[in-house]
Structure 1
Amino acid sequence: MDFANRPDPGRRIIGIGAVVLFHVLLVWGLVNGLARKAIELLPAPIETKILDEVKNEELPPPPPPPPQLDIPPPPFVPPPEINIASAPPPVNTITTTTVAPPPSAPVAAPRAPSVSKAPVVKAKACKEPDYPAVSERLGETGSVTLQLLVGVDGKVTDSKVEKSSGFDRLDKAAQQALSRCKFEPGIVDGAPAPAWAQLKYTFRKQD
């Protein structure tokens, strides 16, 4: 065996240390340089957000406000002045007349004439009609002549206006009041019988 060609152990140790140093430097470079560049080369994370869809709904424009109309106030009309002169209470008069009953129908055989009596119409037995307030205020006056049918009991069973006073209110007032009177009935052949009597009533104002 040739011990002259045996390798030097010192050189061997130096070579191994160089290899180890190379690997250490390589690892350090990878850790500090290449790893950082690799991280920088990676793309940044993308952030995503879900946005609610905004609906653009076209709302109709609001209606225009109603026009303001200036309504003028109604014209002032002063109430008419009515001067009503108060009149003194009227003085009424009642004029009575009697109407004879119609003659009895003729008979074939002659007989003595019947004795008849017309109704007795006394004004004092009646309550005077009330003067209508409207007629008094308007100055209405006049005389009304009535025909009254007096029954067997003296009460008026029918009435009618024979001659008007010219005012319907006065005629009705006299007819309604005098129809409630009670008179003496007419007499025919000694027994009470219905008969017509005439009565005149005058509405007048006191002077």
Structure 2
Amino acid sequence: MSYADPQDSSRRLTGLAFVVALHVLLVYALINGLAKKIIEVVQAPLETKIIEEVKKPPPDKPPPPPPKMTAPPPPFIPPVEVRIDAPPSPSAITAVSAVKPAVEAPIQRPAPVGPSRTPAVVDAGKCAKPEYPPASIRAQETGLVVLQFLIGADSSVIDSKIERSSGFRRLDEAAKRGLSLCKFKAGTEEGKAVQSWARIEYLWKLDE
């Protein structure tokens, strides 16, 4: 029967106790250090940042439509007043109201005739001007009267008629009365005086 040495047992116990104590210290150190770090992490101030939502830029506005190209209005052209003042024919009598309304001496318009005929002739030098009717002057009546008249073999006026009216009865009648103020020469045929028709114009107009 063997017995252990008490001194060896004491050494083993001491070594075992040392190892246990070392482990306890390590465990304690680990626990305390880790807990401290956790507390530090928990107690550390939290830094907060507000992240603003990035707003998308508004979409670009579509470019304005190009202006409509409209044709420029045509330049204003004032209306042209066309006045054709035809000169009186050779047998026209122009009646003009001046200080004293009067009619120019008539000029005979020869009618076309054959070689053996001569037309009646108005003696312009002996044809007085008819008076412009006062009522026509007040009413501002104007116009052209064309008369046809028959001249007898004795150079007198046998008949007359209005070929073209002035549009005013007073002027037409005044033109017919004007025939009595004229002297005519009868037309001839084969050298003999004969009746023949002639034409004469009276242009009645007022001076402005």
TM-score for both structures, normalised by structure 2 = 0.48
- Structure with greater proportional strand content: 2
